[in-house]
Amino acid sequence: MGAVRIRRAALALLALALVYGVAAEVAHGRLPTRVWMGAHFVEDVQLLPTYGSLAEEGAFLVESRILPDSIVVSSRRVLEGLLLGSIAGILLGLATGWAASVQYLADPWVTFFRFTPALALLPLFVVWFGYGESSKVLLIAAGVAVITLLGAHQGVRRVPRVYLDAAAALGAGPGLRFRKIVLPLAFPSIFASVRIAAGLAWVTIVVAELIDARMPSLGYLLALSGAYPRVPTMLIAIATVGALVLAFDLAALLLHARATRWMRRSA
């Protein structure tokens, strides 16, 4: 099964790359290069840049350190926000899942933030924490915290009552039950929520950096390439963001596989 799947996947990706390459070559010189930008026309726009010009642009972006710097800056923001938000969210979620009274107390707050698109808080965070690092990192953390809170909460709630009762009947105290039953059983749900949150963190950071476009960052690169507009840069920036999202997701999956090796028996 493995070999067939890999061959088919490679074939599909190859076909996609080929279709783009051919389309770009065919479009070269045929697509209009004069584009209306809302306020004025812009000349010399390659709507579908060929691989040649993409490679040229990519080499320039790498050599000038623009792309590597942007990757580092944006990834660091996402990682910091993800870490901060996950810690806060998971701790709160474990608390609301474990103690009913905490849940009722936290419920209005959680309901409110759950249905607030994280991006809507951006202007508020800019007012509170200024432009720059902290407002972006905290914005990501806020979005991440809500998702991981719900994940941890549901994970704890899905622990079968029987396990807890049985452990209690055998004399396990609350601390032991929490550590040995609740935490391991809630882990998959917590983990899934962190994975979703990581994807959301990237959506958030790109827009936050686009709206407040300063300093090297991927959003800045996107904004810059959109202002000129310079399509090869734009496509490279888009592809880079996509690759980073994919890389984060793969890293998360690998981590998950390692952390839950002990569960494999049933699968």
Partner 1 sequence: MKSIFNQRSLLWLASLLALIGAYTAIASAAARPDLIPPSQDIAEAFSALVSGPSAKPAPGEMPAAEMSGHAHHHHGRSTDQVDTLLQAGVTLQASLGVSTLRVLFGLAVGLPLGILFGLWMGWSRRADDYLHPIYVLVRSVPPLALITYIMLWLGHSEAHRLIPIVYAVAVTAVIPTYHGVRDLAAKYLVAARSLGARGSLLLNKVILPAAGPAVLGGLRYSIAIAWMTAVGAEMLMADDGMGNLLVGGGMWASRLQTRSDPAVIIVGVIALAAAGWAMDAVAQAATARLTRWVR
Interface contacts to partner 1, rule CB under 8 A? 4-5, 8-9, 11-13, 16, 35-39, 45, 47, 101, 104-109, 111-113, 115-124, 126-128, 200, 202-203, 206-207, 210-212, 222-223, 225-227, 229, 231, 234-235, 237-239, 241-243, 245-246, 249
By beta-carbon proximity to partner 1, the closer residue of 48 and 167 is 48
Task: State the DSSP code for 160.
Answer: -
Shortest Å distance, C-beta 164 to partner 1: 19
Q: Is 122 helix (H, G, I), strand (E, B) or coil?
A: helix
**CA atoms of 147 and 143, how far apart (whole Å):** 7
Task: Write down the least CB distance from residue 147 to partner 1, Å.
Answer: 10
Residue among 29 and 117 whose Cβ is closer to partner 1? 117
Do residues 150 and 190 lie in contact, with contact meaning Cβ atoms separated by under 8 Å?
Answer: no
By C-beta, is 181 or 231 nearer to partner 1?
231
Cβ contact 77:137 at 8 Å: yes
Closest approach of partner 1 to the CB of residue 105, in Å: 5
Which CB sits closer to partner 1, 167 or 238? 238
Q: Choose between 80 and 212: whose C-beta lies nearer to partner 1.
A: 212
- What minimum distance in Å lies between the beta carbon of 91 and partner 1? 19
Q: What is the DSSP string of 29-74?
A: TTS---EE-SSSEE-S--SS--HHHHHHHHHHHHHTTHHHHHHHHH
**Residue 66 vs 126, nearer CB to partner 1:** 126
Q: Rounded CA gap, 253 and 5, in Å? A: 19
Comparing CB distances to partner 1, the nearer of 4 and 170 is 4
DSSP state of 215: S
Instruction: Please say whether the dihedral angle defined by the alpha carbons of residues 172, 173, 174 and 176, taken in this order, is positive or negative.
Output: negative
Q: How far does CA 201 lie from the centroid of its chain?
A: 4
Tell me how far, at minimum, the Cβ of 160 lies from partner 1, in Å.
Answer: 18
Quick one: which H or E segment has residue 12?
Answer: helix 2-27
Shortest distance in whole angstroms from residue 149 CB to partner 1:
14
Q: Quickly count: other Cβ atoms within 10 Å of residue 196's Cβ.
A: 17
Contact 148, 93 (CB under 8 A): yes
How many degrees, rounded to 5, is the angle at CA 61 between CA 54 and CA 241? 75
Minimum Å gap between C-beta 68 and partner 1 is: 19
